[in-house]
Amino acid sequence: QVQLVESGGGLVQAGGSLRLSCAASGRTFSSGGVGWFRQAPGKERDFVAAIRWSGVSTYYADSVKGRFTISRDNAKNTATLQMNSLKPEDTAVYYCAARNGGGSYYSPESYDYWGQGTQVTVSS
């Protein structure tokens, strides 16, 4: 069974940076990809970024494109989300998710495994 654990969240001022990490244990991923989602209080869980586990294709929400960068290290079964130029509206719990099957990278329904989330708070 695959387990995902996020880390790296915290409090940062607007304009600052944070790097989130997602560590996977259990089976290694040989297909599918990894995504990051976020959920603010009282809001829906929104897509942030995704990357193919095998390959170089990446996907980003319009709201973070140019500021966030997703990457992965398949040998270590880890994925990272580098967040720069953070804004107060980026404040949310960030979740790492993994998938093996098909479907849209943008949809939470396409993912099979989820971490517990890590809090990111951006102050103004």
Angle 19-42-48 (CA atoms, 0-180°, nearest 5)?
35
**Which three-class secondary structure state does DSSP give residue 88?**
helix
Q: Give the Cβ contact number of residue 43 at 10 Å.
A: 9
The low-confidence residues of the chain, meaning pLDDT below 50, are none
Which DSSP letter does residue 29 get? P
Place of tokens 């170089």: 56
**Which three-class secondary structure state does DSSP give residue 83?**
strand
Burial class (CB in 10 A: 0-12, 13-18, 19+), 21: middle
pLDDT score for 2: 82
pLDDT score for 65: 98
Residues contacting residue 88 through CB under 8 Å, at least 6 positions apart: 14, 122, 123, 124
pLDDT score for 52: 86
Give just the sign of the alpha carbon dihedral 79, 14, 120, 59: negative
β partners of residue 22 = 6, 79
**Which three-class secondary structure state does DSSP give residue 109?**
helix
